[in-house]
Amino acid sequence: MTSTRNRPLVRNPQALSFRVCRWCVCWLLISWSVTALAADPFEIPPAPEQGGEAWLVTFGPGQIYWERFGHNAIWLREPALGLDHTFNFGFFDFEQEDFFLRFMRGRMLYFSVAQPADREFDFYRQQNRSIRVQKLNLSSVQYNSLRDHLLYEVRPENRDYRYDYYLNNCSTRIRDAIDIALDGALAERTRQMPASLNFREQTRRLTQMQFWYYLGLELGLGFPVDREVSRWDEMFVPGVVADELADFSVAVGEFGKPLLAVDTMLFTTTMPAPAEAPSQVWHRYLAFGLILTVLAWLSGKFMPPVWLAGLSQAWILNAVTIGLLLSALWLFTDHEVTRPNANLLLFNPLLALALLPALRRFGAVVLAGGVVCAAVLLVFPVRQYNLDVLALVAPVNLVVAAYLWRNSYRREGA
């Protein structure tokens, strides 16, 4: 064993200096961030001296995929009852019985929660998510109706509800609660009003900056999310609820007062705001599909013929697996937004037959024909939008189809 007693404590003084400088810079950045947050405290208005007040709270999108749609809550403040809580419907529990089975079958349970407002605001501020608050100009009768409804909803025996991505989510529940307080005036105004964007367009604009998440949603969501919807339906997005209430500021409250008494930001995020409409991103998926195809073709130049045969079979297995999953979502689950799905033209389970040498040409026809049919469907005015999936898959499917046709059983036996 070698003694370390006489070894120098610092082997590389320059490296130590670099580390010290690096830690100093990190410490200064952290200190600056903390100071900046401390210098920008929440300017929460004082609670009412008597009676109660209700606010719509809208939290902006976050960076994680499940945060991309934003979130909202209703903030009740009534000192006499000890109320200074946000009520929201966006909670689920991984420990729930049969959680993953319910998720796969489209029978997921969410639940409502009331929690101290300051704690919730601090959480979203730490997540760098914007916080918009809108004070509702409600009469005492309307406020009591809203308060009683929310208190009823958070009771243990009432808090669970069957979640639906678009029709019954955390935002539609907030919409419904406000509509109850307004005696149905919000529904009356918006049920016949066309939406600015349908379900798919809202989904695309809020997720298009995340390559794989966006692609997965475009792959799984079928024709139902492309149908025309009303402004009422569009309020599945929390930001739309906030914007609609801002526009809905005429003769709703008591004595013809505007609906909103205050509309302000408690905290503004540094993240870029989502686009107002989805942009075209099909070119990035086309480029990715072309790169995959070219790399596979080039690899075949340096590998034995069995290599390309293996890649073709691997792609067929991949397509069959995805096709079976899409078919299962359509036929055996309650995920109504997945059926029907035009992406089954591109990922056809019948491709499994192409693994048989005698049916390779059949597989080639299925692959090429699916691409052609999917492209033709996009021309129709009423259709499922799946251009991004088509752009990625078409180059690979067409090349694999050409390979299967040229290397069919008949050609090998000739």
Range from 11-15, 91-95, 291-295, 301-305 carrying the lowest mean pLDDT: 11-15
The rounded distance, in Å, linking the Cα atoms of 366 and 349 is 10
Tens digit of pLDDT for each residue in 288-305? 999 999 999 999 888 998
Q: Quick one: tokens of 323?
A: 């096709």
% the chain with pLDDT above 70 = 86
Q: Are 405 and 364 in contact (CB under 8 A)?
A: yes
Reported as a pLDDT band with limits 50, 70 and 90, residue 370 is: very high
Mean pLDDT of 350-370: 95
Per-residue pLDDT for 112 more than 90?
Answer: yes
Tens digit of pLDDT for each residue in 121-173? 999 999 999 999 999 999 999 999 999 999 999 999 999 999 999 999 999 99
Per-residue pLDDT for 8 more than 80?
Answer: no
Three-class HEC string of the chain: CCCCCCCCCCCCHHHHHHHHHHHHHHHHHHHHHHHHHHHCCCCCCCCCCCCCEEEEEEECCCCCHHHCCCEEEEEEEEHHHCEEEEEEEEECCCCCCCHHHHHHHCCCEEEEEEEEHHHHHHHHHHCCCCEEEEEECCCHHHHHHHHHHHHHHCCCCCCEEECECCCECHHHHHHHHHHHHCCCHHHHHHCCCECCCCHHHHHHHHHCCCHHHHHHHHHHCCHHHHCCCEHHHHCCCHHHHHHHHHHCCCCCCHHHCCCEEEEEEEECCCCCCCCCCCCCCHHHHHHHHHHHHHHHHHHHHHCCHHHHHHHHHHHHHHHHHHHHHHHHHHHHCCCHHHCCCHHHHCCCHHHHHHHCHHHHHHHHHHHHHHHHHHHHHCCCCCCCCCHHHHHHHHHHHHHHHHHHHHCCHHHHHC
pLDDT value, residue 41: 56
> Hey, how many other C-beta atoms are within 10 angstroms of the C-beta on 54?
23
Length of the chain equals 414
Q: Residues with Cβ < 8 Å from 79, sequence gap 6 or more?
A: 47, 48, 49, 50
Could you tell me which residue, 23 or 201, shows the higher pLDDT?
A: 201
Reported as a pLDDT band with limits 50, 70 and 90, residue 6 is: very low
The rounded distance, in Å, linking the Cα atoms of 214 and 204 is 7
Mean pLDDT of 109-116: 94
Per-residue pLDDT for 72 more than 70?
Answer: yes
Per-residue pLDDT for 284 more than 80?
Answer: yes
Mean pLDDT of 210-222: 96
∠ Cα 339 344 349 (to 5°): 120
Could you tell me which residue, 194 or 41, shows the higher pLDDT?
A: 194
pLDDT value, residue 255: 53
Could you tell me which residue, 125 or 98, shows the higher pLDDT?
A: 125
pLDDT value, residue 251: 52
% the chain with pLDDT above 90 = 76
Q: Are 177 and 150 in contact (CB under 8 A)?
A: yes
Reported as a pLDDT band with limits 50, 70 and 90, residue 413 is: very low
Q: Are 177 and 74 in contact (CB under 8 A)?
A: yes
Amino acid identity for residue 156 in this structure = P
Per-residue pLDDT for 30 more than 50?
Answer: no
Per-residue pLDDT for 414 more than 80?
Answer: no
Q: Are 348 and 366 in contact (CB under 8 A)?
A: yes
Tens digit of pLDDT for each residue in 172-190? 999 999 999 999 999 999 9
Mean pLDDT of 358-375: 96
Range from 4-18, 283-297, 395-409 carrying the lowest mean pLDDT: 4-18
Mean pLDDT of 208-235: 97
Per-residue pLDDT for 352 more than 80?
Answer: yes
pLDDT value, residue 392: 98
The rounded distance, in Å, linking the Cα atoms of 261 and 373 is 53
Mean pLDDT of 319-324: 97
The rounded distance, in Å, linking the Cα atoms of 167 and 164 is 5
pLDDT value, residue 95: 77
Beta bridge partners of 75: 55, 86
Per-residue pLDDT for 393 more than 80?
Answer: yes
Per-residue pLDDT for 48 more than 90?
Answer: no
Could you tell me which residue, 294 or 94, shows the higher pLDDT?
A: 294
